[in-house]
């Protein structure tokens, strides 16, 4: 198709080709670049939305478990509270249990019900002074230390303090091995 | 006249759509004559998956994916929506059926070494489909939003947090926050109805495309090894010479098997009814016995055996190795014999793996390691263990009961199985040995030294010393 007898024509045509080729090339590169910027603009909020819960450090909150005199000395009682991060759509799910042990006047231990093995709810047996887990048979002594079974450590404890004669504990996270060090 | 009209309408449709030209060759492509009843499980898996999609869409038109509504909503579906209970039953049991068929399909492919050249990628995509299926089963269990769902999520979160360094971040990512909440359910709902099925549909398409591309494998025969350089040409020659069209020659077996499986599924669903929901998801109700669904019972059983010292390996590294191993299978022994008789070690592996999963599933279902939580309060003491005993020994029987010993130990076949039965303990351990065992514990038994008074310990041990076979005396220290 190219007319070899007319070099100037050919040159002109090729310059045109190059020019058009370069233009096409530029368009492609620009297109990829523009699309990339767009993808980042749209992708960042999506990513932020999905990983938000992992990135945000939700604070621990002190909550009130009631007057200390409802916990008899030397006994372990079941306590309930609603997690401070509860939303209306959570239903009953944010209701949380804990075991409150009053060692002596003004001295407490507050245990999470979640077994340190895999998080199942442990039950307190007053007579044998043991916590037993229904899932894999983890057992804990009265002070929360591991007695037997698969748990790698004792029960998780919530930090507590007594304020104006009322027992407060610090909650806000499902207790786990990474958060509560022994 | 009418026939010619239908013909011309059909011809118009075919001309404008080209569907017949597109699907016809796929339907009638030649498959090996030897591909018979062993080959029906893949089709059955696909059928149950399609049933899951259809029933799932139906249920999604009524289900409220909300932590405050979900549990009540299931009762509404079961009791007030026409056929609601049956659709939930079919969706639940079809999930189990799909896993059974998938495992059979995978087993067949493994036993016949179909994953060898050139079908490696078909196997790999299949492994991903297998993982997605288990993902759908787990997220589906969460949709019930009952106590098992709640505590099951807790178990998942406990495993996630064992990941070094980023454990708590991964856990928060899975739960959608620092605790199990409404957002957790919605997260799993999005996975269960959008993400996982979407991936599944795409990959099922790819899996089938690969089956068409490389052809359905023949039944393996000893002495006919796969050789990379000649396999393709030989396979095509043989299929061309002796193959039969997929439709109807091979498809008729799929139809018969899938039809029977579908009828059985509907009967099972009608007979058993919907799976769950269990107790109301109020985490302050700790009088609960969390158990996972059937496909996960073997994992539930396996984790009871794991000592704390190897947790990270067992929870994280072992599953990763298992999955990598499954992916790598087609690259070990990529060529060579396919016949089971020539691959005894592989077949032994299948036997061992299925025995292990079977035993662990049974153990997970019966969970003998779990204490019988009401054993101490609900079980009677066998009268023959009380007859002729002194008041002190009888009071020991009471201590045994009240100290919750029977939550873990059985008397007369009733009680926990975590510790040994106590019916003949007096013949095995002396008074002194029993005192030490009760006070100091050991061998997976808690120490009761601080929890029982010395009088109580003495009484319970005196009672235990009376428990021995009539033909064997009480054990004596140093005897």
Q: Is residue A176 part of a domain?
A: no
Contacts of B70 (CB under 8 A, 6+ apart): A91, B63, B64, B143, B144, B145, B185
Triad A120, A125, A130: Cα angle to 5°: 75
Helix (H/G/I), strand (E/B), else coil: A132? strand
Statement to judge: residues A48 and A65 lie in one domain: no
**To the nearest whole number, what is the mean pLDDT of chain B?**
93
Q: Is residue B11 part of a domain?
A: no
Q: Is residue A180 part of a domain?
A: no
Q: Is residue B429 part of a domain?
A: yes
Q: Give residue A70's pLDDT.
A: 92
Domain end (from B309, B344, B366): B366
Statement to judge: residues A90 and A144 lie in one domain: yes
| Residues of chain B with C-beta less than 8 angstroms from the C-beta of A90 | 67-68, 181-182
Q: Give residue A179's pLDDT.
A: 52
Q: Is residue B9 part of a domain?
A: no
Write out the DSSP string of B209-233: HHHHHH-PPPPP-TT--B-HHHHHH
Q: What is the ipTM of this complex?
A: 0.88
Both tokens of B154, joined, read 């807790």
Helix (H/G/I), strand (E/B), else coil: A124? strand
Helix (H/G/I), strand (E/B), else coil: B154? helix
Both tokens of B355, joined, read 């025995």
Q: Is residue A179 part of a domain?
A: no
Q: Which of A60, A96, A119 to mutate against chain B (most B CBs within 10 Å)?
A: A119
Q: Give residue A100's pLDDT.
A: 96
Q: Is residue B2 part of a domain?
A: no
Note every long-range contact of A97-100, with CB atoms under 8 Å and residues 24 or more positions apart, other chains counting.
Answer: A97/A121, A97/B283, A97/B284, A97/B286, A98/A65, A98/A158, A98/A169, A99/A124, A99/A131, A99/A155, A100/A65, A100/A71, A100/A76, A100/A167
Tens-place pLDDT, residues B432-441? 999 999 999 9
Statement to judge: residues B350 and B380 lie in one domain: no
Tens-place pLDDT, residues B371-388? 999 999 999 999 999 999
Q: Is residue A119 part of a domain?
A: yes
Q: Give residue A15's pLDDT.
A: 61
Both tokens of A141, joined, read 């002594």
Q: What is the mean pLDDT of residues B438-457?
A: 91
Q: Is residue A93 part of a domain?
A: yes
The total number of structural domains that make up chain B? 2
Q: Give residue B404's pLDDT.
A: 93
Statement to judge: residues A143 and A127 lie in one domain: yes
H or E stretch at B124:
helix B120-143
Statement to judge: residues A129 and A39 lie in one domain: no
Statement to judge: residues A28 and A112 lie in one domain: no
B129 in Cβ contact with B280 (< 8 Å) = no
Q: Give residue B84's pLDDT.
A: 96
pLDDT higher than threshold 80 for residue A72: yes
* Residue B406 Cα, gap to closest chain A Cα (Å): 11
Statement to judge: residues B362 and B392 lie in one domain: no
H or E stretch at B410:
strand B410-411
Domain end (from A56, A72, A103): A56
H or E stretch at A111:
strand A107-112
Statement to judge: residues B354 and B379 lie in one domain: no
**pLDDT category of residue B166 using cuts at 50, 70 and 90:** confident
**pLDDT category of residue A19 using cuts at 50, 70 and 90:** confident
* Cross-chain CB nearest to B282 (options A58, A78, A92): A92
Among the residue ranges A119-133, B178-192, B252-266, B464-478, the one predicted with the least confidence is: B464-478
C-beta atoms of B151 and A120 within 8 A? yes
Statement to judge: residues A50 and A66 lie in one domain: no
pLDDT higher than threshold 90 for residue B312: no
Q: Is residue B201 part of a domain?
A: yes
> In chain A, what percentage of residues exceed pLDDT 70?
85
Tens-place pLDDT, residues B20-73? 898 988 888 889 988 889 999 999 999 999 999 999 999 999 999 999 999 999
- Upstream peptide bond of B105 is cis (omega within 30 degrees of 0): no
C-beta atoms of A87 and B287 within 8 A? no
pLDDT higher than threshold 80 for residue A18: no
Does the beta carbon of B66 lie under 8 angstroms from any beta carbon of chain A?
A: yes
Q: Give residue A182's pLDDT.
A: 40
* Cross-chain CB nearest to A177 (options B154, B162, B169): B162
Statement to judge: residues B267 and B379 lie in one domain: no
The b-or-e profile of B114-153 (16+ CB within 10 A means b, else e) is bbbbbbbebbbbbbbbbebbebbbbbbbbbbbbbbbbbbb
Contacts of B440 (CB under 8 A, 6+ apart): B447, B449
Q: Give residue B308's pLDDT.
A: 83
The total number of structural domains that make up chain A? 2
Domain end (from B339, B366, B393): B366
Both tokens of A93, joined, read 């799910």
pLDDT higher than threshold 60 for residue A2: no
Statement to judge: residues B383 and B361 lie in one domain: no
Both tokens of B447, joined, read 């120490």
Q: Is the dihedral of CA B218, B220, B221, B226 positive or negative?
A: positive
**Greatest mean pLDDT among B166-175, B197-206, B403-412:** B197-206
Query: CA-to-CA distance for A111 and B290, rounded, in angstroms?
Result: 20
Statement to judge: residues B351 and B388 lie in one domain: no
Q: Give residue B462's pLDDT.
A: 94
Tens-place pLDDT, residues A43-63? 999 999 988 887 776 678 999
Q: Give residue A161's pLDDT.
A: 94
Statement to judge: residues B175 and B143 lie in one domain: yes
Statement to judge: residues A104 and A123 lie in one domain: yes
Q: Is residue A38 part of a domain?
A: yes
Statement to judge: residues B147 and B293 lie in one domain: yes
DSSP B316: I
Q: Give residue A154's pLDDT.
A: 94
- pTM for this entry: 0.91
Statement to judge: residues A38 and A117 lie in one domain: no
End-to-end Cα, chain A, rounded Å: 83
* Residue A74 Cα, gap to closest chain B Cα (Å): 12
Domain end (from A40, A56, A72): A56
Q: Give residue A5's pLDDT.
A: 53
Statement to judge: residues A77 and A138 lie in one domain: yes
Statement to judge: residues B344 and B393 lie in one domain: no
Nearest residue in B to A114, CA atom:
B154
C-beta atoms of B290 and A83 within 8 A? no
Statement to judge: residues A82 and A41 lie in one domain: no
Q: Is residue B470 part of a domain?
A: no
Statement to judge: residues B254 and B304 lie in one domain: yes
- Upstream peptide bond of B265 is cis (omega within 30 degrees of 0): no
pLDDT higher than threshold 50 for residue A29: yes
| Residues of chain A with C-beta less than 8 angstroms from the C-beta of B68 | 88-92
Write out the DSSP string of B231-292: HHHHHHHHHHHH-EEIIIIIHHHHHHHHHHHHHHHHHHHHHH------S---TT--------
Q: Is residue A91 part of a domain?
A: yes
Statement to judge: residues A68 and A19 lie in one domain: no
Q: How many inter-chain contacts (A to B, CB under 8 Å) are there?
A: 199
pLDDT higher than threshold 90 for residue B111: yes
Give strand ranges (E) for B349-398. none
Q: Is residue A92 part of a domain?
A: yes
| Domain that residue B120 falls in | 31-366
Q: Give residue B178's pLDDT.
A: 87
Better pLDDT: B160 or B208? B208
Domain end (from A20, A39, A56): A56
Domain end (from B322, B347, B366): B366
End-to-end Cα, chain B, rounded Å: 105
Query: CA-to-CA distance for B137 and B194, rounded, in angstroms?
Result: 14
Statement to judge: residues A41 and A75 lie in one domain: no
Contacts of B62 (CB under 8 A, 6+ apart): B73, B76, B77, B81, B84
pLDDT higher than threshold 80 for residue B477: no
Q: Is residue B353 part of a domain?
A: yes
What CATH number has the domain bearing residue B238? Answer: 1.20.810.10
Q: Is the dihedral of CA B202, B207, B208, B213 positive or negative?
A: positive
Statement to judge: residues B393 and B317 lie in one domain: no
What CATH number has the domain bearing residue B419? Answer: 1.10.760.10
Statement to judge: residues B331 and B408 lie in one domain: no
Q: Is residue B339 part of a domain?
A: yes
Tokens 């059928």, residue located: B47
B93 in Cβ contact with B275 (< 8 Å) = yes
| Domain that residue A84 falls in | 61-171
Contacts of A86 (CB under 8 A, 6+ apart): A94, B181
pLDDT higher than threshold 70 for residue B334: yes
Query: CA-to-CA distance for B427 and B224, rounded, in angstroms?
Result: 63
What CATH number has the domain bearing residue A157? Answer: 2.102.10.10
pLDDT higher than threshold 50 for residue B128: yes
C-beta atoms of A136 and B304 within 8 A? yes
């Amino acid at each position: 198709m190219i007319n070899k007898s007319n070099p100037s024509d050919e040159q002109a045509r090729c310059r045109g080709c190059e020019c058009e080729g370069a233009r096409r090339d530029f368009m492609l590169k620009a297109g990829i670049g523009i699309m990339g910027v767009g993808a980042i603009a749209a992708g960042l909020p999506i990513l932020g939305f999905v990983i938000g819960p992992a990135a945000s450090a939700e604070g621990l909150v002190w909550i009130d478990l009631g007057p200390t005199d409802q916990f008899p000395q030397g006994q372990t009682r079941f306590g309930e509270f609603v997690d401070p991060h509860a939303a209306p759509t959570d239903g009953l799910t944010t209701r949380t249990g804990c075991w409150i042990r009053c060692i002596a006047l003004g001295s407490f231990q507050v245990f999470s019900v979640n077994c340190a093995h895999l998080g199942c709810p442990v039950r307190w047996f007053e007579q044998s002074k043991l916590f037993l887990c229904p899932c894999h048979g983890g057992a804990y002594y009265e002070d929360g230390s591991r007695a037997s079974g698969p748990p790698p450590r004792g029960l998780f404890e919530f930090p507590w303090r007594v304020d104006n004669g009322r027992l407060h504990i610090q909650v806000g996270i499902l207790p786990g091995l990474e958060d509560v060090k022994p | 006249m009418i026939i010619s009209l239908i013909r011309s309408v059909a011809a118009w449709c075919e001309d404008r759509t080209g569907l017949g030209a597109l699907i016809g060759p796929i339907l009638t492509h030649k498959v090996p004559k030897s591909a018979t009843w062993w080959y029906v499980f893949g089709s059955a898996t696909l059928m149950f998956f399609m049933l899951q999609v259809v029933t799932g869409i139906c249920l999604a038109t009524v289900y409220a994916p909300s932590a405050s509504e979900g549990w009540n909503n299931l009762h509404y579906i079961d009791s007030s929506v026409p056929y609601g209970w049956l659709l939930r039953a079919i969706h639940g049991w079809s999930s189990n059926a799909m896993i059974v068929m998938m495992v059979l399909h995978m087993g067949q492919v493994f036993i016949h070494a179909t994953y060898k050249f050139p079908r490696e990628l078909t196997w790999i995509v299949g492994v991903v489909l297998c993982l997605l299926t288990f993902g759908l089963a787990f997220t589906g269990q969460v949709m019930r939003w009952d106590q098992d769902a709640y505590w099951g999520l807790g178990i998942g979160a406990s495993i996630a947090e064992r990941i070094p360094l980023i454990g708590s971040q991964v856990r928060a990512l899975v739960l959608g926050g620092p605790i199990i909440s409404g957002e957790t359910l919605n997260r799993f709902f999005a996975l269960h109805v959008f993400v996982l099925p979407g991936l599944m549909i795409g990959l099922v398409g790819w899996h089938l495309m690969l089956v068409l591309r490389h052809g359905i494998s023949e039944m393996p025969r000893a002495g006919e090894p796969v050789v990379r350089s000649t396999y393709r040409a030989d396979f095509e020659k043989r299929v061309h010479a002796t193959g039969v069209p997929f439709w109807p020659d091979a498809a008729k077996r799929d139809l018969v098997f899938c039809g029977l499986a579908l009828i059985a599924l509907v009967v099972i669903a009608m007979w058993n009814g919907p799976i769950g929901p269990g107790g109301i998801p109020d985490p302050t109700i700790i009088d609960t016995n969390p158990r996972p669904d059937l496909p996960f019972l073997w994992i539930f059983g396996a984790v009871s055996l794991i000592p704390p010292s190897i947790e990270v390996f067992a929870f994280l590294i072992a599953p990763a190795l298992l999955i990598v191993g499954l992916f790598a299978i087609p690259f070990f022994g990529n060529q060579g014999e396919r016949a089971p008789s020539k691959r005894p070690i592989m077949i032994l592996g299948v036997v061992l793996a299925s025995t292990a999963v079977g035993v662990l599933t049974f153990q997970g279902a019966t969970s003998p390691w779990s204490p019988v939580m009401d054993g101490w309060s609900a079980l009677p003491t066998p009268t023959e263990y009380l007859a002729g005993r002194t008041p002190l020994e009888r009071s020991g029987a009471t201590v045994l009961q009240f100290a919750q010993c029977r939550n873990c130990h059985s008397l007369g076949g009733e009680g926990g199985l975590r510790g040994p039965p106590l019916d003949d303990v007096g013949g095995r351990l002396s008074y002194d040995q029993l005192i030490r065992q009760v006070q100091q514990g050991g061998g997976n038994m808690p120490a009761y030294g601080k929890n029982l008074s010395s009088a109580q310990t003495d009484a319970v041990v005196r009672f235990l010393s009376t428990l021995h076979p009539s033909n064997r005396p009480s054990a004596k220290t140093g005897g």
